[in-house]
């Protein structure tokens, strides 16, 4: 198997990420570092969708449901217990548990395709409506007032076991970056395990996977829950970066941009959607700092041009380009081999098809 | 008793409203498998057409019934030729492209007309009195128009070549494209038609809704959920899903409040899709249009 | 926790001093940095765009008159595109990157609460110029908009006198709507009336049919609306379509700040009564000149002016006045100047900072809508923010930096 | 037939679609180590019958028993988990994965990683797919794809194998090779093969079941069926 070569790429990317983590605070401005934590949270969301959709073949339009639940679970838990470590675990747990229930409902009901997309989106929209409804004083979990439309404050991260020591923004950036890198390496590892390969096989052909005695419902549920847990983790860093969580995390546009990061980055890759998140966020933010053009006008044009010119997404297109060059090389060497064999066959006059 | 009649009419209007905002989307999705995320903006454009036209002295009926579908239909054809036709069979890519389109339209309208545009129109047709209750005559008119529109689309599907291809596509998308039906032209007309129906809906809603460049976002999710819940059959799907979801929404909203009304609509859609994983017409009324 | 926070602040400023930013600061010495963060695209642009225009106008005027302390004002405008996340980002950028001397920012309370801690942390003076539910108590944050006690207190008795004592309340389902509805209920009861029902609407509801039926069933004397945003404009249209505006009149504390009165026709809106601390039609010389300058500036594209737009303009001027009095842009000196009773006689009349709350004493106007413009009925001068005063005293304790939903509720006399 | 040897049995099995009785009250049994062919004209119900056995369809009535266990209405993966290898009529492969990965996925279902790898290599050699080992299956020729699918069935080392038209669309040479392979599989497993191609059936079969109008018309050797007047009418009548 080609495991080792594939994984080398992963490690190279991880090392690049680590290098960025170490040098970014030296090179970038302080406010950029502070801002990056929230973008990293979004990147983890994109990664989770890249896993669930790109590898599991599950078009989860409402991946933001888990992202938002993670963010809310973190904010509420951290406000109540005063520390962030338990709250992070809680966020992951809540997102995963919710996905387990929803996934059971969906996959064991054999809902798939665009119908699945709409169910998950609808779930996110229900959470959007419900959280926006919580502006009354009666919506209080422990000490945390949910705050409806205005949302609720998300406490900063602190040292594990020492709730009094709040992390500096640089440290939060380090923690978020390392979480992103670990999540990325984890996903790369996961898709190469037996479990991951079966998920890919299911994406390719459900019937065949079933006939090979794999319970596809279980595998889909599994990757769905893992994706949700990751999205929940992303929600934590996002709300810590923003210092607040509002119902907007469940909105239609948030759900749509998550899908768009994956399309732009390329389905079937894990690094593509992460890079796309950073790039598109940078674009959006730049548009907000200028007064010449309407932000939507530019963003819309970029997306349209993109889908027409780079339909497969950035990373797969780059891989394709590299592949074409490699194939030319391979073709040349194969031709040489064939020529060799033909001369040998000519000598032996052996049977062909056998 | 007056309340019951009046409320029944109100719920009927809620259903018609849902069907009206969903029908154009159902045509485009059902026949072309294109997920049009710019659907809300098509509705908005219909409304804007009416506002701009009436501000310039055009009769409101002409603006609503003629100009709105015409303008948005032409925009639809242009969009199909320039953008959508490159993306057939790539359902997911249409998602990205039409999302981009929706942002572009919002951006364009905002850049041209500003964040809001003053209007002078108000709903024609006065008030209907039922006992001690009053209802809007215009809303009753919209119920009638919605029914007529459904009938017109039914006739188109049943009696024209376009309809024949449409039914073929609905039953077996691969087959009809494999048969090499001149899909290009048919698709262009279909998309234009879907856009025109959407524009008409947007125009008709103009006198009773707020019209802003960003208002499309309010409709898109609801229209989508209705269409998908309905399943593949354009008319039966839209009609049954609108009736179910609109009915639930109206009743719950009256009994409890608007938030729970919205939530009830969404929950109904989820339960429905769990019980009928291919939408209503994927399980019932399979042979219908 | 306390120690660490101080360390962080020290490290933040140390980083600033140690980095190349020190050069940036030297260059910027001749311009005063004024940053504005307001939504100019997506849903909230109906509020944000006019505010940005008047902010630009104020800064241009001050610069044309020779600037402040002999220095020009550099205005930097960000568009957070109705996204809380971009608010936080631009606030950080304004504070740590642009090293702003003052930031005027935020439309929704959600956005204000997302960025307020950032400005406290980086010690950057922060103005919020929007009418809101009240309850912010923060030495670093000046809230110049009107709060429910200022407007509702006048609007409710006036309209009840005029129309009757049974009031049906409808409001947007978020904090502003919830708290405003509480205030309305309180004042209706205080004036011997009956708040028959209160209903809240998600911001994206467009079909108000069921509610209109309920209003018909309840037969109130009037409807009090605190609906917000583009989707909710539909209510007024459907209400008129059902013929209701002829029989049961509407009063509102929100209608018009997004220029909604231009989005519905004359016959749909006529007769509605609203209360704000500013209307374009306010009758004084300063306002007439202000409106004229605004029209000259933007020509036919000029949007209608409302409290938000006027207060963004006046907010800039109050700050400028305080800087003049302090003789410096240094934050604490400007804050002290502001709290020493600085006032500005602007288009809306006198706006003066109230030192216990950092809110504003301001005029309140009652007006009736006629043919898409407001006609002033009553003027109440120099109204204090009595709601926030109930829960906030920065004179006694200047170290406060809170906004709690509870503050607003407590202000409304509701215990939780 | 000895009762203990029966590995697969249907009792009164029926599958109706609306008013159409695609399979109607079929009693069928299969003994250990048999290689049984199901034949019949189009629409005779053999494919529907096959799908009822594999769990792809839930029968309207009747039972399916595998080694005396009632498996009626179970999911395909549950049938597969009993050690049943299944190949469907339409080639069902993982198009985007390589030949090697396709077969590995099957082997890995039953074995630990190292054994699965050995088994994969063995299977690839056995099916002579070495040249296309690293090609995505989507790019292979039709016959090769059929073999990849057969490879997946074989790699799972099933004791009961159900094949639906394994030689469809193959060249003569490929068909011969496939027949060889099926006889080889039969050394360790019991088989049911649904097939159209009479020549192919002659190459492999011992006992044949002839389906007609949703039921079993007769069950005998190929020679006997070829000689039978009714059978010939069914086929000729259909062909005409």
Q: Is the pLDDT of residue A281 over 50?
A: yes
**A55 and A175 housed in the same domain:** yes
Q: What confidence tier does D32 reach under pLDDT thresholds 50, 70, 90?
A: confident
Rg (CA), chain D: 18
Non-local CB neighbours of C336 within 8 Å, separated by 6+ positions: C326
The predicted structure's pLDDT at residue A354: 32
**Is residue B134 less than 8 Å (CB to CB) from chain C?**
yes
Calculate mean pLDDT across residues C198-213.
82
Are C271 and C193 within one domain? yes
How many CB pairs below 8 Å do chains A and C form together? 134
Which chain A residue shows the shortest CA-CA distance from B220? A252
Q: A214 to chain D: which residues are within 8 Å by CB?
A: 77, 80, 109
- Together in a domain, A161 and A303: yes
Number of domains in chain C: 2
Contact with chain D for residue A201, Cβ under 8 A = yes
DSSP string spanning B66-114? Answer: IIHHHHHHHHHHHHHHHTGGGGTT-HHHHHHHHHHHHHHHHHHHHHHH-
CA atoms within 13 A on the CB side of C262: 17
Per-residue pLDDT at C40: 86
C409 contacts in chain A (CB < 8 Å)? 137
What sign does the CA torsion over B61, B64, B69, B74 have?
positive
pLDDT digits (tens, 9 = 90+) for D131-156: 888 888 888 888 888 889 989 998 98
Of A76-80, B162-166, C22-26, D169-173, the poorest mean pLDDT is in C22-26
Domain with residue C41: its CATH number is 3.40.50.2300
Is D76 in Cβ contact with A201 (below 8 Å)? Answer: no
Between chains, do B100 and A306 touch, taking CB under 8 Å as contact? Answer: yes
Q: What is the pLDDT of residues B18-39, one digit of tens each?
A: 899 999 998 888 777 788 889 9
pLDDT level of residue B169 (50, 70, 90 thresholds): low
Q: CA of C266 to nearest chain B CA: how many angstroms apart?
A: 7
* In a domain? residue C24: no
Inter-CA distances, C30 with C17, C58, C74, C322, D203, Å: 18, 19, 9, 19, 97
Closest CA to D102 of A220, A209, A323: A209
Range of the structural domain that residue C58 is part of: 31-146+283-362+384-402
- Among A114, A129, A306, the residue with its CB nearest the CB of B228 is A114
Q: In this structure, is residue A302 part of a structural domain?
A: yes
**Cβ contact C81–A287 (<8 Å):** yes
- Inside any domain, residue C407: no
Cβ-defined contact of A198 to D105 (cutoff 8 Å):
yes
Q: Is the pLDDT of residue A187 over 90?
A: yes
User: Is the Cβ pair A253, B86 closer than 8 Å?
Assistant: no
**3-state SS track over chain D:** CCHHHEEEEEEEEEEEECCEEEEEEEEEEEECCCEEEEECCCCCCHHHHHHHHHCCCCCCEEEEEECCEECCCCCHHHHHCCCEEEECCCCCCCCCCEHHHHHHHHHHCCCCHHHHHHHHHHHHHHCCCHHHCCCEHHHCCHHHHHHHHHHHHHHCCCCEEEEECCCCCCCHHHHHHHHHHHHHHCCCCEEEEECCCHHHHHHHCCEEEEEECCEEEEEECHHHHHHCHHHHHHHHHHHC
Q: Which pLDDT score, from 0 to 100, does residue D239 have?
A: 45
Q: Which of residues 228-247 of B touch A (CB under 8 A)?
A: 228-229
Annotate A40-59 with b (16+ C-beta within 10 A) or e (fewer): bbbbbbbbbbbbbbbbbbbb
| Nearest Cα residue in chain A from B229 | A115
Range of the domain at A317: 312-346
Neighbours of A85 (CB within 10 A): 16
Which of D53, D71, D74, D94 is the best substitution to test chain A (most A C-beta atoms within 10 A)? D94
Please name the CATH architecture into which domain D1-83+159-174+191-240 falls: 3-Layer(aba) Sandwich (3.40)
Q: In this structure, are C153 and C137 located in the same domain?
A: no
Among C258, C276, C294, the domain boundary falls at C276
Cross-chain CB nearest to C230 (options B137, B210, B254): B210
Q: Are C394 and C373 in contact (CB under 8 A)?
A: no
Alpha-carbon distances of A289 from A284, A295, B107, C35, D210, rounded to whole Å: 9, 10, 16, 11, 77
| B98 has a chain C CB within 8 A of its CB | no
Distance separating alpha carbons of residues A259 and B89, to the nearest angstrom: 18
- Give pLDDT, residue A98: 95
pTM (predicted TM-score): 0.84
C234 in the same domain as C166: yes
The residue with tokens 């005293």 is C393
Q: At residue A295, does pLDDT exceed 80? A: no
Q: Number of structural domains, chain B?
A: 1
By C-alpha distance, the chain B residue nearest C199 is B257
Residue whose C-alpha is closest to residue C109's, from C405, C392, C355: C405
Give yes or no for residue B278 having a pLDDT over 70: yes
Other Cβ atoms within 10 Å of A325 Cβ, number: 10
Domain ranges of chain D: 1-83+159-174+191-240, 92-157
The answer to the question of residue A78 being in a domain is yes
Query: Measured between CB atoms, does C203 come within 8 Å of chain A?
Result: yes
In this predicted structure, what is the pLDDT of residue C323? 92
Q: Give the max Cα distance, chain A.
A: 91
* pLDDT value at residue B280: 78
Question: Average pLDDT of chain D?
Answer: 85
Tokens of A124: 């996110």
pLDDT at D166 over 90: no
Q: What is the distance between the alpha carbons of residues D156 and A56, in angstroms, rounded to a whole number?
A: 23
Residue C333 has pLDDT above 60, yes or no: yes
How far does A228 lie from chain C, in Å, by closest CA? Answer: 21
Judging by beta carbons within 10 Å of its beta carbon (0-12, 13-18, 19+), is residue D114 exposed, middle or buried? exposed
Instruction: Name the 3-class secondary structure at A349.
Output: coil
Is A308 in the B-facing interface, judged by CB distances under 8 Å? yes
C93 and C177 part of one domain: no
Judge whether residue C414 has pLDDT over 80. no
Residue A128 has pLDDT above 80, yes or no: yes
Residue C49 has pLDDT above 60, yes or no: yes
Note whether D80 contacts A: Cβ–Cβ < 8 A.
yes
Cβ of D97 within 8 Å of Cβ of A201? The answer is yes
Binned at pLDDT 50, 70 and 90, residue C21 comes out as very low
Confirm whether A354 is domain-assigned: no
Structural contact between residues C337 and C320, judged by C-beta atoms closer than 8 angstroms: no
Residue in chain D closest to A110 (alpha carbons) equals: D75
3-state secondary structure A274-321: HHHHHHHHHHHHHHHCCCCCCHHHHHHHHHHHHHHHCCCCHHHHHHHH
**Does residue A148 form part of some domain?**
yes
Q: What is the mean pLDDT of chain A?
A: 84
Q: Which residue has the tokens 């303009």?
A: C313
Read off the pLDDT band of A341 (50, 70, 90).
low
A164 shares its domain with A140: yes
User: Is the same domain home to A287 and A238?
Assistant: yes
Interchain contact, D95 vs A353, CB within 8 Å: no
Neighbours of chain C (3+ CB pairs under 8 A): A, B
Domain assignment present for C18:
no
Residues above pLDDT 90, as percent of chain C: 33
Q: What total of structural domains would you count in chain A?
A: 2
pLDDT band at C60 (very low <50, low <70, confident <90, very high): very high
A215 touching D (Cβ < 8 Å):
yes
Q: What pLDDT shows up at residue A4?
A: 53
The 10s digit of each residue's pLDDT in A233-267 is 999 999 998 888 989 899 888 888 898 889 888 88
Query: Has residue A351 been placed in a domain?
Result: no
Give the closest of B3, B132, B211 to C263, CB-based.
Answer: B211
User: Could you tell me which chain A residue has the CA closest to the CA of C108?
Assistant: A150
pLDDT at C143: 93
Both tokens assigned to D97? 């994965």
User: pLDDT over 70 for what percent of chain A?
Assistant: 93
CA–CA distance, B176 with B268 (Å, rounded to integer): 34
In a shared domain, residues A221 and A170: yes
Q: Kindly state whether C15 is in contact with chain A, defined as any CB-CB distance less than 8 angstroms.
A: yes
Domain shared by C290 and C349, yes or no: yes
Q: Look at residue C12 and tell me whether its pLDDT is greater than 60.
A: no
In a domain, C25, yes or no: no
Given this model, what pLDDT does residue C322 score? 92
Enumerate the residues of chain A whose CB falls inside 8 A of the CB of residue D93.
Answer: 205, 208
- What integer pLDDT is reported at residue B289 of this predicted model? 62
pLDDT above 70 (res C391): yes
Residue A171 forms contact with C (CB below 8 Å): no
Q: Pick B198 or C97 by higher pLDDT.
A: B198
The reply to whether C184 and C73 lie within a common domain is: no
Please indicate if any CB of chain A lies within 8 Å of the CB of B114. Answer: no
What integer is the mean pLDDT of A159-165? 76
Q: What is the pLDDT of residue C28?
A: 43
Instruction: Provide the shortest C-alpha distance from residue A193 to chain D (in Å).
Output: 10
Residue B89 near chain A (CB below 8 Å): no
Structure tokens at B287: 């042979």
**Chain C residues with CB inside 8 Å of B110's CB?**
41, 45
Q: Pick the residue with more confidence: C24 or A337?
A: A337
Of residues A25, A128, A120, A17, the one with CA closest to residue A68: A128
* C-alpha span between B24 and B149 (Å, rounded): 11
Same domain as A215, residue A144: yes
Domain range for residue B37? 2-216
């Amino acid at each position: 198997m080609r495991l080792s070569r594939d994984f080398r790429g992963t490690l190279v990317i991880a090392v690049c990420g680590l290098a960025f983590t170490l040098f970014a605070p030296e090179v970038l401005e302080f406010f950029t570092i502070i801002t990056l934590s929230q973008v990293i949270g979004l990147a983890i969301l994109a990664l989770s969708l890249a896993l669930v959709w790109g590898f599991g073949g599950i078009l989860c339009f409402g991946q933001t449901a888990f992202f938002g639940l993670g963010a809310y679970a973190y904010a509420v838990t951290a406000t109540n217990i005063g520390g962030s470590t338990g709250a992070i675990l809680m966020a992951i747990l809540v997102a995963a548990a919710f996905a387990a229930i929803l996934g059971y409902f969906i996959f064991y009901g054999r809902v798939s395709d665009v119908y699945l997309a709409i169910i998950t989106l609808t779930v996110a929209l229900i959470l959007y409506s419900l959280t926006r409804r919580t502006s009354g004083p009666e919506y209080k979990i422990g000490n945390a007032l949910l705050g409806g439309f205005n949302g609720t404050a998300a406490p900063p991260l602190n040292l594990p076991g020492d709730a009094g020591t709040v992390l500096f923004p640089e440290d939060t950036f380090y923690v978020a970056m390392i979480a992103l890198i670990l999540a990325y390496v984890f996903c790369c590892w996961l898709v190469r395990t037996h479990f991951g390969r079966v998920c890919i096989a299911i994406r390719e052909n459900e019937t065949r996977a079933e006939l090979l005695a794999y319970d596809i419902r279980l595998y889909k549920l599994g990757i769905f829950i893992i994706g949700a847990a990751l999205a929940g983790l992303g929600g934590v860093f996002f709300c810590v970066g923003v210092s607040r969580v509002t119902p907007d995390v469940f909105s239609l546009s948030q759900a749509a941009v998550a899908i768009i990061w994956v399309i732009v980055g390329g389905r079937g890759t894990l690094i593509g959607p992460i890079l796309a998140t950073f790039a598109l966020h940078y674009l959006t933010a730049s548009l907000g700092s200028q007064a010449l053009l309407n932000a939507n006008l530019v963003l819309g044009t970029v997306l349209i041009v993109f889908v027409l010119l780079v339909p497969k997404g950035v990373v797969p297109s780059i891989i394709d380009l590299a592949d074409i060059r490699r194939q030319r090389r391979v073709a040349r060497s194969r031709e040489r081999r064939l020529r060799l064999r033909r001369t040998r066959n000519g000598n032996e006059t052996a049977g062909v098809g056998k | 008793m007056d309340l019951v009649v009046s409320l029944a009419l109100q719920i009927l209007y809620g259903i018609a409203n849902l069907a009206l905002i969903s029908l154009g989307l159902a045509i485009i999705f059902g026949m072309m498998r294109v997920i049009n995320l710019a659907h809300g903006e098509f509705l908005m454009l219909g409304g804007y057409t009416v506002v701009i036209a009436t501000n310039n002295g055009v009769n409101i009926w002409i603006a609503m019934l003629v100009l709105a579908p015409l303008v948005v239909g032409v925009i639809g054809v242009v969009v199909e030729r320039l953008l959508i036709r490159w993306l057939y069979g790539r359902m997911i890519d249409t998602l990205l492209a039409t999302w981009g389109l929706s942002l572009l339209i919002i951006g364009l309208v905002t850049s041209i007309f500003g964040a809001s545009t003053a209007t002078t129109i108000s709903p024609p047709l006065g008030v209907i009195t039922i006992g001690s209750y009053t209802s809007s005559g215009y809303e009753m008119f919209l119920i009638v128009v919605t029914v007529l529109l459904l009938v017109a689309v039914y006739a188109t599907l049943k009696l024209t070549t376009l309809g024949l291809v449409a039914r073929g596509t609905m039953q077996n998308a691969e087959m009809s494209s494999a048969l090499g039906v001149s899909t290009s032209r048919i698709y262009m007309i279909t998309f234009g038609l879907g856009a025109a129906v959407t524009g008409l809906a947007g125009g008709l809603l103009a006198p009773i809704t707020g019209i802003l460049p960003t208002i499309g976002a309010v409709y898109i999710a609801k229209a989508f959920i209705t269409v998908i819940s309905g399943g593949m059959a354009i008319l039966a799907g839209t009609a049954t899903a609108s009736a179910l979801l609109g009915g639930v929404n109206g009743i719950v909203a009256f009994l409890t409040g608007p938030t729970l009304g919205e939530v009830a609509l969404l929950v109904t859609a989820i339960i429905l899709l769990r019980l009928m994983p291919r939408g209503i017409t994927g399980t019932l009324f399979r042979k219908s249009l | 926790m306390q120690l660490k926070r101080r360390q962080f602040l020290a490290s933040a400023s140390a980083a600033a001093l140690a980095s190349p930013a020190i050069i940036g600061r030297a260059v910027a010495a001749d311009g005063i940095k004024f940053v504005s963060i307001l939504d100019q695209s997506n849903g909230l642009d109906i509020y944000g765009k006019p505010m940005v225009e008047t902010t630009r106008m104020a800064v241009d005027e001050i610069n044309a008159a020779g600037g402040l302390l002999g220095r020009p004002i550099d205005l930097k405008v960000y568009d957070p595109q109705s996204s809380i996340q971009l608010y936080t980002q631009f606030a950080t950028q304004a504070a740590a990157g642009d090293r702003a001397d003052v930031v005027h920012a935020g439309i929704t309370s959600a956005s204000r609460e997302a960025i307020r801690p950032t400005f406290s942390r980086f010690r950057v003076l922060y103005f919020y110029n929007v009418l809101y539910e009240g309850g912010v108590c923060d030495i670093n944050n000046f809230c110049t908009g009107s709060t429910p006690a200022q407007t509702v207190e006048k609007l409710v008795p006036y309209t009840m006198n005029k129309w009757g004592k049974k009031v049906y309340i409808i409001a947007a389902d978020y904090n502003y709507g919830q708290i405003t509805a509480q205030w309305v209920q309180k004042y209706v009861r205080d004036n011997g009336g009956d708040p028959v029902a209160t209903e809240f609407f998600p911001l994206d509801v467009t079909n108000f049919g069921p509610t209109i039926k309920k209003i018909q069933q309840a037969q109130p004397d009037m409807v009090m609306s605190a609906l917000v945003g583009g989707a909710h404009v539909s209510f007024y249209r459907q209400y008129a379509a059902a013929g209701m505006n002829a029989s049961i009149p509407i009063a509102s504390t929100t209608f018009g700040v997004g220029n909604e009165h231009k989005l519905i026709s004359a016959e749909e809106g006529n007769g509605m009564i609203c209360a704000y601390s500013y209307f374009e039609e306010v009758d004084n010389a300063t306002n007439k000149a202000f409106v004229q300058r605004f029209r000259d500036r933007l020509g036919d594209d000029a949007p209608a002016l409302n409290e938000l737009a006027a207060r963004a303009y006046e907010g800039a001027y109050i700050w400028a006045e305080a800087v003049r009095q302090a003789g410096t842009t240094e934050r604490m000196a400007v804050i002290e100047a502001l709290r020493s009773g600085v006032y500005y006689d602007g288009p809306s009349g006198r706006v003066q900072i109230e030192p216990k709350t950092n809110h504003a004493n301001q005029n309140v106007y009652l007006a009736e809508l006629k043919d898409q413009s407001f006609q002033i009925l009553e003027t109440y001068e120099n109204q204090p923010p009595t709601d926030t005063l109930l829960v906030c005293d920065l004179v006694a304790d200047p170290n406060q930096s809170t906004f709690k939903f509870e503050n607003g509720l407590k202000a409304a006399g509701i215990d939780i | 037939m000895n009762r203990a040897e029966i590995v697969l049995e249907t009792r009164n099995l029926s599958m109706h679609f609306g008013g159409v009785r695609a399979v109607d009250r079929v009693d069928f049994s299969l003994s250990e180590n048999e290689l049984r062919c199901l034949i019949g004209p189009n629409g005779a119900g053999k494919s529907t019958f096959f799908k009822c056995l594999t769990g792809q369809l839930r029968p309207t009535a009747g039972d399916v028993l595998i080694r005396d266990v009632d498996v009626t209405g179970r999911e395909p993966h549950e049938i597969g988990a009993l050690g049943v290898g299944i190949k469907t009529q339409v080639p069902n492969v993982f198009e985007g994965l390589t030949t090697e990965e396709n077969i590995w996925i099957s082997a890995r279902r039953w074995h630990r990683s190292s054994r699965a790898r050995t088994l994969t290599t063995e299977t690839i050699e056995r099916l002579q797919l070495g040249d296309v080992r690293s090609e995505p299956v989507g790019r292979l020729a039709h016959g090769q794809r059929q073999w990849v699918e057969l490879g997946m069935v074989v790699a799972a080392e099933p004791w009961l194998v159900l094949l639906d038209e394994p030689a469809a669309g193959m060249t003569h040479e490929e068909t011969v090779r496939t027949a060889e392979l099926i006889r080889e599989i039969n050394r360790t497993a019991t088989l049911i093969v649904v097939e159209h191609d009479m020549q192919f059936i002659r190459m492999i079969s011992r006992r044949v079941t002839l389906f007609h109008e949703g039921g079993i018309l007769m069950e005998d050797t190929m020679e006997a069926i070829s000689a039978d007047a009714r059978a010939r009418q069914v086929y000729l009548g259909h062909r005409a």
